[in-house]
Amino acid sequence: MPLNRRKFLKKSAVTGAGVAIAGAAVAPSAQAVEVKGGGKKAPKRYKFTVMGTTDLHGNVFNWDYFTDKEFDDRAHNDVGLAKISTLVNQVRKEKGRRNTLLIDAGDTIQGTQLSYYYAKVDPITAKGGPVHPMAQAMNAIDYDAAALGNHEFNYGIPVLRKFQEQCRFPLLGANALDAKTLRPAFPPYSMHRLRTPHGRDVKVAVLGLTNPGIAIWDKANVQGKMTFPGLEEQAAKWVPKLRSMGADVVIVSAHSGSSGTSSYGDQLPYIENAAGLVAEQVPGIDAILVGHAHTEIPEYFVTNKETGKQVVLSEPLKWGQRLTLFDFEMVWSKGCWKVEKVAAQVLNSNTVEEDPEIVKMLGDEHEKVVAYVNQVIGTNAAEMTSVEGPYKDVPIIDLINHIQADTVKQALSSTEYASLPVLSQAAAFSRSAVIPAGNVTIRDVAGLYVFENTLEARLMTGAQMKAYLEYSANYFVQTAADAVIDPAKLTNANGTPDYNYDAVSGLTYEIDIAKPVGSRVTNVRFEGAPLADDKQFVFAVNNYRANGGGNFPHVAAAQLLWSNSDEIRNTMIAWVKAKGSIDPAAFASVDWKLTRNGTPVF
């Protein structure tokens, strides 16, 4: 090991750039073979495998902290690094430990109550604080490198830096730049040597790229500190450098989907999901580990426009549900190693048991979090669920809006905006959230709001709110007035995720799904009267939406009246604690409904 990675990572936090070198060892797999009858040796060949994960989102165990039981879904997927560890061990045994690398494409330290606990309740940043469970697990599994995801910035830069310090592998971000110097704020790449039986090592470069949307989604944490240029631009800068440094293979670990689209519109001049564009536009890349989009792409080839070369992309499913394998076949040609073939596939983590070493190592941390989320904080008069939330106005979503509006009203009570009516937006982040009748726990409330969003208040007009509602209605599939209604087929039009459909409280309105996009929202009223275009409102809105997430109209440019640094789910937990009880009768009302030519769908 020519470089002490711990010292290097500390230094990189200050200097903003660097390289991590992986250890080399003998690979027994490739052998020279005599060609029959010719007397000449066949070309020297060598095979190796790069494994990849992405969007782990704080999942160590196959456990759902929001339901307090083993994770399961309709496809019976499993989650967590403990499962990934077993798959990795199997691959290393099959391929030879020295013929493999393991990398990640970001979104590691946010997403479960386990990751929340060690960022906020027992923070890793405290003096003498704990080592983050994700760092412990990834160190034990022996990751070689990981790209930064946008959610790495949710808890602020100090938490991210502490996590970086605790990892025994580099966190890469070639397009995460210091705002003042425009130098990399993290190592842009890592270089790894794989020793072959043929004399010369294979040098594998891993270039890390993160998402430009960080500048919008975590504006409060990064503004004036870091900037995030486009992936294509930075890949075009770094790939030639890596080749000039002798890289035989260049792999990009990109926290960016492959679709070429953005959820933030023209808020930034960069593409959010740019992995496919990087493959197409930047020559010299052999493979891209794709992240961010939470989709499964076992193997996908993109042709580079300049060279005509096929670049293979793969995205393993989120939360540790899949492990990507890039299988490389190298050939010695004209004094150097060349990539002769590369293929990709994914392995399913539900085919294996959890690694007992990981379970043993982090069992105590798991039990602490289970105890934390099961604390009773109040009572509830009647059960509420989010099952129908995407297509009906249900009380559990009304609860979010009620708490947000109440919080904003109190915050503005002594300001010039105190007399303005407050509207609020919320989405069905989870279709399986339940707040039971009787005792209510932290996990019940936290399970309703699974993202680390914070709350803001923006000044909006009636006309702007109409446009906002119309845009939100794009979520619904156009359905003829005489068609049979199947709730499972009404939503997610054009791939719109549930979190990009907002139900707005404080107004009443109808959404006519028989009509085309752009002309669906009708009968918009405030306090029973038609909504006036010039009417002013305070809009309680989460920071993701307020900063352009989802590309909703007007809100990102609207005047900011107030903002809160605490997560909305913490605000909700504190509200329930303070009230001691929840009674849906006090806040639940049907403010919006789906119609077809004026006739209610439900």
Please tell me what DSSP assigns to residue 41. Answer: B
Write down the pLDDT at residue 136.
98
Please tell me what DSSP assigns to residue 483. Answer: S
pLDDT in tens, 335-376: 999 999 999 999 999 999 999 999 999 999 999 999 999 999
Cα(355)–Cα(359) distance, rounded to whole angstroms? Answer: 6
Q: Examine the pLDDT at 311 and tell me if it is beyond 50.
A: yes
Structure-block tokens of residue 3: 């470089």
**What value does the mean pLDDT of the chain take?**
92
Write down the pLDDT at residue 219.
87
DSSP β-bridge partners for residue 190? 20, 206
Using DSSP's 3-state secondary structure scheme, residue 217 falls into helix
Identify the residue whose tokens are 């009380």. 395
Q: What is the mean pLDDT of residues 292-310?
A: 97
Cα(372)–Cα(385) distance, rounded to whole angstroms? Answer: 22
Q: What is the mean pLDDT of residues 392-407?
A: 98
Q: Examine the pLDDT at 225 and tell me if it is beyond 50.
A: yes
Cβ 324 vs Cβ 51: under 8 Å: yes
Cα(203)–Cα(201) distance, rounded to whole angstroms? Answer: 6
Write down the pLDDT at residue 66.
85
> Per mean pLDDT, which range of 21-30, 72-81, 166-175 is the poorest?
21-30
Structure-block tokens of residue 151: 């959610």
Q: What is the mean pLDDT of residues 146-158?
A: 96
Write down the pLDDT at residue 89.
98
> Per mean pLDDT, which range of 7-21, 64-78, 305-319, 569-583 is the poorest?
7-21
Identify the residue whose tokens are 């208040």. 457
- 3-class SS letters over 522-586: EEEEECCEECCCCCEEEEEEEHHHHCCCCCCCCHHHCEEEEEEEEEHHHHHHHHHHHHCEECHHH
Identify the residue whose tokens are 């009748």. 437
Cα(166)–Cα(141) distance, rounded to whole angstroms? Answer: 14
Cβ 386 vs Cβ 430: under 8 Å: yes
Distance (Å) of CA 171 to CA 168, 174, 222, 569, 588: 9, 10, 17, 28, 45
- 3-class SS letters over 63-87: EECCCCEECCCCCCCCCCHHHHHHH
- Residue 36 pLDDT grade (very low, low, confident, very high; cuts 50, 70, 90): low
Please tell me what DSSP assigns to residue 184. Answer: B
> Per mean pLDDT, which range of 46-50, 58-62, 92-96, 544-548 is the poorest?
544-548
Q: What is the mean pLDDT of residues 16-24?
A: 38
The residue length of the chain stands at 602
Write down the pLDDT at residue 450.
86
- Residue 29 pLDDT grade (very low, low, confident, very high; cuts 50, 70, 90): very low
Cα(103)–Cα(94) distance, rounded to whole angstroms? Answer: 18
Cα(186)–Cα(164) distance, rounded to whole angstroms? Answer: 9
Cα(588)–Cα(397) distance, rounded to whole angstroms? Answer: 9
* % the chain with pLDDT above 70: 93
Write down the pLDDT at residue 8.
33
Cβ 232 vs Cβ 277: under 8 Å: yes
Cα(305)–Cα(303) distance, rounded to whole angstroms? Answer: 6
Q: Examine the pLDDT at 130 and tell me if it is beyond 80.
A: yes
Q: Examine the pLDDT at 9 and tell me if it is beyond 60.
A: no
Rounded to two decimals, the pTM is 0.82
Spatial strand order of the sheet with 438-441 comes to 438-441, 376-380, 581-582
- Residue 485 pLDDT grade (very low, low, confident, very high; cuts 50, 70, 90): very high
Distance (Å) of CA 519 to CA 19, 512, 577: 54, 8, 42
Cα(53)–Cα(289) distance, rounded to whole angstroms? Answer: 8
pLDDT in tens, 185-223: 999 999 999 999 887 999 999 999 999 999 988 888 999
- Residue 23 pLDDT grade (very low, low, confident, very high; cuts 50, 70, 90): very low
Write down the pLDDT at residue 263.
82
Q: Examine the pLDDT at 4 and tell me if it is beyond 80.
A: no
**CA angle in degrees (0–180, nearest 5) for 58-61-67:** 85
- Residue 37 pLDDT grade (very low, low, confident, very high; cuts 50, 70, 90): low
Q: What is the mean pLDDT of residues 421-427?
A: 98
